[in-house]
Chain A
Amino acid sequence: MRLVLVGTSHHHAPVELREQIALDRDQAQALAARLAEDGREAVCVSTCNRTELYVAAPDAGEAERAAAAALASLGPEIEPVLYRLRDRAAAHHLFRVAAGLDSLVPGEGEILGQVRVAHELGTTGPLLDRVFRQALHAGRKVRAQTAIGESPASVSAAAAALAEQVFGSLEERSILLLGAGKVSEQAARNLRSRGAEITLVANSKTEREQIHEQLAEVDVVIASTNAPGLVLEAATVAEALRARRGRRLLLIDLAVPRDLDSAISELDGCYLFDIDDLEQIVVETLSLRRREAERAEAIVAVEVEKFHEWHASLDVVPAIASLRARAEEIREAELQKAESLLGRLDESQRRAVEAVTAQIVNKLLHLPTVRMKQAAAAADGVLYAEAVRHLFGLGEDER
């Protein structure tokens, strides 16, 4: 059985092409089922950054053509940007995808869940089931053993991580939004997904009084107005602090020009971050992710090797099974011949003879079995299997 991958991703195709072949879950499931109609196995991984078809079939060329045709039927212009990988290279690619190493942001965590769903919706058999399970295992291992997914990879995620650094759990924490730019909305959404609540979205028409009242209550202020000057002076915040009785206040200024007075950072219990601070944090965390990616690649390589050994051993498994069957056949035949002698033995002595002969066969075949599996992993498996069939006359009776 051969493993084939045909697909494209953000590395090879712009969004105009990717959107032609982007599939929802039902469509991906239907496409995989259609490809698997001719006795093949098929899984479709489709996310906003990639659409990939993994097919397991005896004939790699034919499977590749069928997968490419299936994708081309969705978007005729897609053909030139399709990549095609086979066996070890295809598995390596899938393992990297599951580990987040092929993502736009290295270590991105969503992809692992998307690969798991694709596996569940696919039409799998022994090969695809194995390669997807092992890819998911590799993805989990990378996340557990490296820090690749721990740090925030966007300004909005960095703002949320800073809020957690100050407050711990964000449950029941309140947010004041000054202005509503795209990034501040994302940051607020990120905070809300962690349990915080937006108490006021202030715009140019909001009364200053109302903002000052809220300043005494809220935990996080996110500012991103288009105002030409400062929206919050340090003196205003200092006044609000008196009513806060020592409660901490995190202020995120995403506006250019800045909305929040930089002197706020000198006030006790106030933590102020502007857009430059957040961008520097993101640059730093992305470089950390890239460093961790090297360790992740090593983990992936080990897992791919394990899969490759298993996959390669499939070539020699029939020969090993035939060899063992032949040996067992001979052993039983010889015991039958010796029946006249063995008949005099009592039950325990007969069992001992059975055990000794079985052990001799096992010991004799152990090393050839191991060597054949090793040879299979080194791509000589088919040659060795043929040699064993020839030397021991395996399969000749059937011919």
Chain B
Amino acid sequence: MAELLFWPALLLYGEAAIGYFGDMRHPGRAGRIATWGVRLGWLLQTALLGVQAARDDGFPWGTWASSLDLFVWLVVSAYLIWGCRRPYRLLGLVVMPLAVALLAVARAGGGTGIGSASHYSNLFLVVHVVLVLAAFAGFTLAAALSGLYVWEERRLQTRPATILRRQMPALATLDSLALRTVAWSVPLLTLGAAVGLGRLVVRGDRLDALIAVTAATWLVWCAYLGLRLFGGWTGRRAAYLALAGFALVVVVRLALPATHFA
């Protein structure tokens, strides 16, 4: 059953990624088809997560590979909030290839099947894993918005004749959306990390590389919030900082999880 849901979801996400690329070159039908690909793919992935939850005895996303599966779902869910609106379609150009790649990695690591239940308690995992992943999904979206900001601002400065051909969100809108997304995500990460640290202290476990880099990530995003709210940072500088924060998210999600989940 999980197989039947995984492959169509992956194909639809892939179709969306290609569709958004086509939409960038010729705005219109390709973008609409891509958005339907995201919607249908998301429904299938939701069903896949449902099957995993129903079949597994315990929290099914406790391994790094299965947590990637959940992470992709959270990223695509967050994207769907805006991505269905025409001016934001281009976000899909960043989000959907990432979703396809991560879902494929999750599959390679055995995270999209049944039987990956963790030995940790359900409550701890629900609070810790889900909150941290939701925060990372938010940071991913904020980084995509910031990337779009940098691209759009560059167009405004190079002034191509085609600048108004594509309907895009305004710079000010992209900037404030990125800020709002981070403002939601930082508290989620704080809470999720605090739960994890609490457990670490109780059990007397040692810090690992992933925890250290997650702390650095948390600091960068806190700095982002602080500089934006109190330091007067807006626009390009803030966007670059968001992209730097996202680079750390990539390291945390892809380079280091083996140490932590082991």
Question: Residues of A at under 8 Å CB distance from B?
Answer: 147, 150-152, 158, 161-162, 164-168, 245-248, 265, 268-269, 271, 273, 277, 280-281, 283-285, 288
The chain B residue sitting closest to A170, CB to CB, is B170
B172 and A150 form a contact (CB under 8 A): no
Complex partner residue of B163 from A165, A168, A248, CB under 8 angstroms: A165
A271 and B161 form a contact (CB under 8 A): no
Cα–Cα, bound, A336→B21 (Å): 73
Given contacts A162-B163, A166-B170, A268-B237, 14 further A-B contacts (CB under 8 A): A151-B165, A166-B171, A168-B173, A246-B235, A246-B237, A247-B234, A248-B171, A248-B235, A265-B157, A268-B235, A268-B236, A273-B159, A284-B164, A285-B165
**Contact partners of A268 in chain B: CB under 8 A:** 235-237
Cα–Cα, bound, A273→B28 (Å): 27
Cα–Cα, bound, A246→B234 (Å): 6
**Contact partners of B232 in chain A: CB under 8 A:** 245-246
What mask results when residues 236 to 248 of chain B are scored 1 for a CB within 8 Å of chain A, else 0?
1100000000000
B162 is an interface residue with CB less than 8 A from chain A? yes
B167 is an interface residue with CB less than 8 A from chain A? yes
The chain B residue sitting closest to A276, CB to CB, is B159
B234 and A165 form a contact (CB under 8 A): no
What mask results when residues 146 to 175 of chain B are scored 1 for a CB within 8 Å of chain A, else 0?
000000100011010111110111111100
The chain A residue sitting closest to B156, CB to CB, is A271
**Contact partners of A165 in chain B: CB under 8 A:** 152, 156, 163-164, 168, 170-171
Cα–Cα, bound, A197→B235 (Å): 24
**Contact partners of B173 in chain A: CB under 8 A:** 168
**Contact partners of A283 in chain B: CB under 8 A:** 161
A167 and B164 form a contact (CB under 8 A): no
A282 to chain B, nearest CB (A): 9
Consensus secondary structure, chain B interface: loop
B167 and A167 form a contact (CB under 8 A): no
A277 and B236 form a contact (CB under 8 A): no
**Contact partners of B172 in chain A: CB under 8 A:** 166-168, 248
16 A-B residue pairs with Cβ-Cβ distance under 8 Å, sorted by A, are: A147-B27, A164-B170, A165-B152, A165-B156, A165-B163, A166-B170, A167-B172, A247-B234, A248-B172, A268-B235, A268-B237, A271-B157, A281-B164, A283-B161, A284-B164, A285-B164
B36 is an interface residue with CB less than 8 A from chain A? no
B242 to chain A, nearest CB (A): 15
- Max count, chain A CB within 10 A of own CB: residue among B165, B232, B233: B165
The chain B residue sitting closest to A268, CB to CB, is B236
**Contact partners of B27 in chain A: CB under 8 A:** 147
What mask results when residues 25 to 37 of chain B are scored 1 for a CB within 8 Å of chain A, else 0?
0011000000000
The chain A residue sitting closest to B159, CB to CB, is A277
The chain A residue sitting closest to B158, CB to CB, is A265
B236 and A281 form a contact (CB under 8 A): no
Cα–Cα, bound, A164→B170 (Å): 6
Cα–Cα, bound, A150→B28 (Å): 13
A281 and B161 form a contact (CB under 8 A): yes
**Contact partners of B161 in chain A: CB under 8 A:** 277, 280-281, 283-284
- Max count, chain B CB within 10 A of own CB: residue among A161, A162, A165, A268: A165
**Contact partners of B237 in chain A: CB under 8 A:** 246, 268
B151 to chain A, nearest CB (A): 13
A151 and B233 form a contact (CB under 8 A): no
Contacts A147-B28, A247-B234, A271-B156 given; does A284 touch B170 at CB 8 Å? no
A284 and B156 form a contact (CB under 8 A): no
B165 to chain A, nearest CB (A): 6
**Contact partners of A288 in chain B: CB under 8 A:** 165
The chain B residue sitting closest to A287, CB to CB, is B161
